[in-house]
Structure 1
Amino acid sequence: MNTDNMEVIMGLIMEGGNAKGFAVEAIRAAKQNDFSAAKNFLDKSNESLSKAHNVQTNMLTKEAQGQPNEVNLYMVHAQDHLMTAITFRDLAQEIVELYEKIVEKN
Structure 2
Amino acid sequence: MSQEMEMIIFNIINYAGMAKGLAYDALRAAEEGKYEDVEAFLKESDENLLEAHKVQTSIIQAEARGEKPEVSVLFVHAQDQLMTAMESRTLIEHLIKMHKKMDGIK
Q: TM-score, normalised by structure 1?
A: 0.96
In 1, distance between residues paired with 2:68 and 2:45?
29
In 2, distance between residues paired with 1:36 and 1:16?
24
2:53 is aligned with what amino acid? H
Q: 5+ unaligned residues in a row in structure 1: which ranges?
A: none
**Aligned-pair RMSD on alpha carbons?**
0.9
Aligned match of 1:43: 43
Q: Percent identity?
A: 37
In 1, distance between residues paired with 2:96 and 2:35?
8
The runs of at least 4 consecutive aligned structure 1 residues that moved more than 6 Å come to none
Q: 5+ unaligned residues in a row in structure 2: which ranges?
A: none
Q: How many residues align?
A: 105
- Aligned with 1:104: secondary structure? coil
- Aligned with 2:70: secondary structure? coil
How big is the shift at 1:8?
0.4
Q: TM-score, normalised by structure 2?
A: 0.96
2:40 is aligned with what amino acid? N
Report Cα offsets for 1:40-71 as digits up to 9, x if no partner: 11111100000001011111111000011110
8 Å contact from structure 1 (residues 16, 48) kept in 2: yes
